[in-house]
Every structure is written in C-alpha cells, then in structure tokens.
Amino acid sequence: MTAATTQLIIVGAGPAGCSAALIAASVGMSSILVDPSPRPGGALWRIRHVTNVPGGWTDGPSYAEALQRDLSRISRTCQYLQDEAVKVEACEEEVTVALASGRSIRAEYLIIATGVRSMRATEATWVSTDLDFPPLWQITAESIREDLTVLGADRPLGTWLRSNPNFARKLTVLHPAADSYKADEIRADPRVELIPVREASVRRSELFEVEFTTLAGVPGRLSAAVVLANAGSTPAGLPGLVRGDDGYCPPDRQHPRVMTAGDLRSAGFQRIVTATGSGAEAALSVFYQSRELSR
C-alpha cells in the first residue's frame, strides 16, 4: 500500500528533523515527519542538564516540549507519522521510504536525520559475546539492587552517575584504551572501579561470567549478576544511504534528492545546535533545488 505523496519526507524527529520540518513549512513546502516515537525530540529527552543551547534552555525535555509545540503550529503542512523507516530508495524523479508498518511513502525530496543509537555489546570489537545487554542509560538506579558490571566507559556513564548521586552499589567498568579519556571525568568517583582491557568475553551460566585481559596483558575474571552495555554509539543509518568507512552518512555523498542532517552526518559536530542548523540548512537546500535556485 502506498500513502499519499508529499514534497518532502523527513525521517527522524530529533532537533535536526524538527528544524527541517519548521524551515520547510516556513517556505511553504509540505512534509511528512516520520519517527517511531509518539513524541518528537529524539535524544533531547535523555538530557537532564544542558548549558550550550542558546535561549536559556537548561534541560533537554523542556526544549523537546517546545519543539512539540512548534510542530503543532505547523500541523497543516507537516504531518507527524509515528512509524519507523526501514529502507530508502531514490531515483531521478522521486524518493521512496519503506516503513516498518509495511507502508511506503513517496516524495520529491528526503531528509534523513536518524542520529545515532547505542552500540550493542555484540557490535563492540573488543567484546566477545552473543548476549545482548541493556544500555546503561536506559536503566533507572531504583530498579537495581546488585553491583553492576558495565562494558565500556562512554560518556553516558558520567551522566548516569551524576543523575544518580544516591546509587550506592559498586560499578565495575571494563573499557578499551580508546575510552580512557572519557573515563577521566568519573575516575575519582568512589563507586567506580575502572579496568582498562584489551578484550573481554561474557557468557551466561548461573551468573554472567566475564573473562578479560587487561591492557598490561594480565588475565582476569569476575562473576556478575547484572551486566550493562555502555560501548558508545553508532550511526543509525538506513539501507539505501551512502555510508563512509566509519558508518556515518555524509550529506555530500548522497543521491541529489537525499540530504542527511544532524548526528548521522559524522562523529564530529554532534550537538543540539549543530543538528538544528544542519536540519534547517538541509530543508533550505531542498527548497532551492526544487525551485532550481542557486544558493
């Protein structure tokens, strides 16, 4: 089944996708904004404290709610479609987005702003396991009564510890050398034991059995009741996009009818303001291209 066509499809309703929708509406373009979440805002909902967004915003959810109000204001030209894009295709005349619901939607242009997602432990090159562990950032401290073993020292660890000052259990954090500089911010936290490792493996028996080799080459093992993943993020690109060697989807390598915006573009520039700017720029690029105007 094919839904009605529109001028522009925007996939991902984080700051980049929402800005693209607002700018598209401001120049009179109709759009469909696709996101599996019932509420726009993307990663903003996970940011408890923010200091680098102009306008006096101090937390992500307040900013996300403001974006939601902005989208309500443009609901006549921008339709919010709660669905997940699974594949994109672009040809000379149009673009098609296949959705998880089985539908597909078509448009003249496409902006993809799907950001990044948490890397699974099975995707981390330094971890051997066939088990899938919940990401640390999704876990509430109140739901945990045991000590934790954490795979990776990526930034959400610091955010999680600061957000849960009363969590009194121990966190044993195994991490690769590449995470060492990120671990600096939590090195002094008495709840944390950092173990830099070359590699680690995890298997399930009664508890989780973790074996590892430290950076110094010393083998070690531990048993854990709870293992959580915190191994970093990976671009949430879709089949049909052109990816670089690092998995990111640079805007200048896509089909002329397809733009990428926000965190999906590259590992650098991953900030709210840059996402917002790139989404706006992508929408204006589409507008100029549709009018054959030079920029």
Q: Is 190 helix (H, G, I), strand (E, B) or coil?
A: coil
Residue type, 250: P
Instruction: Tell the smallest beta-carbon distance from residue 146 to ligand FAD (Å).
Output: 24
Tell me whether residue 99 or residue 121 sits nearer to ligand FAD (CB atom). Answer: 99
Which positions ≥6 away from 165 have C-beta within 8 Å?
none
Answer for which of 6, 96, 114, 129 binds ligand FAD (CB under 6 A) is 114
The DSSP secondary-structure symbol of 179 reads G
Q: What do you get for the CA distance between the two ends of the chain, in Å?
A: 37
The DSSP element (H or E) to which 65 belongs, if any, is helix 60-73
Tell me whether residue 50 or residue 267 sits nearer to ligand FAD (CB atom). Answer: 50
Instruction: Tell the smallest beta-carbon distance from residue 116 to ligand FAD (Å).
Output: 6
Scanning the structure block, which residue is given the tokens 């693209």?
20
> Hey, which residues does 222 pair with through a beta bridge?
210
Query: In angstroms, what CA-CA distances link 216 with 151, 164, 173, 176, 223?
Result: 18, 32, 16, 12, 21
Q: Does the footprint of ligand FAD cover residue 121 (CB under 6 A)?
A: no
Tell me whether residue 52 or residue 294 sits nearer to ligand FAD (CB atom). Answer: 52
Q: Which stretch binds ligand FAD (CB under 6 A): 15-23, 66-74, 101-109, 166-174?
A: 15-23
Question: Residue 44 and residue 64: Cα distance in Å, rounded?
Answer: 6
By CB under 6 A, the residues from 228 to 257 that bind ligand FAD are: 236, 238
Q: Does the footprint of ligand FAD cover residue 226 (CB under 6 A)?
A: no
Instruction: Give the total residue count for the chain.
Output: 295
Tell me whether residue 84 or residue 199 sits nearer to ligand FAD (CB atom). Answer: 84
Question: Residue 285 and residue 272: Cα distance in Å, rounded?
Answer: 20
Provide the sign of the torsion angle of the four alpha carbons 129, 127, 147, 119, taken in this order: negative
Instruction: Tell the smallest beta-carbon distance from residue 38 to ligand FAD (Å).
Output: 10
Tell me whether residue 270 or residue 289 sits nearer to ligand FAD (CB atom). Answer: 270
Per-residue mark of binding to ligand FAD, 37-56 (x: CB under 6 A): x----xxx-xx--x-x----
Size, binding site for ligand FAD by CB under 6 A: 34
Question: Residue 4 and residue 222: Cα distance in Å, rounded?
Answer: 56
Question: Residue 92 and residue 230: Cα distance in Å, rounded?
Answer: 41
Q: Does the footprint of ligand FAD cover residue 24 (CB under 6 A)?
A: no
By CB under 6 A, the residues from 52 to 91 that bind ligand FAD are: 52, 84-85
Other residues' Cβ atoms within 10 Å of the Cβ of residue 28: 9
Q: Which stretch binds ligand FAD (CB under 6 A): 9-17, 143-151, 199-207, 223-231?
A: 9-17
Using only C-alpha atoms, what is the Rg of the chain?
21
Question: Residue 103 and residue 9: Cα distance in Å, rounded?
Answer: 14
By CB under 6 A, the residues from 262 to 281 that bind ligand FAD are: 262-263, 270-273, 275
Tell me whether residue 113 or residue 202 sits nearer to ligand FAD (CB atom). Answer: 113
Q: Does the footprint of ligand FAD cover residue 179 (CB under 6 A)?
A: no
Answer for which of 6, 10, 12, 149 binds ligand FAD (CB under 6 A) is 12
**Binding positions for ligand FAD, rule: CB under 6 A:** 11-17, 34-37, 42-44, 46-47, 50, 52, 84-85, 113-115, 156, 159, 236, 238, 262-263, 270-273, 275
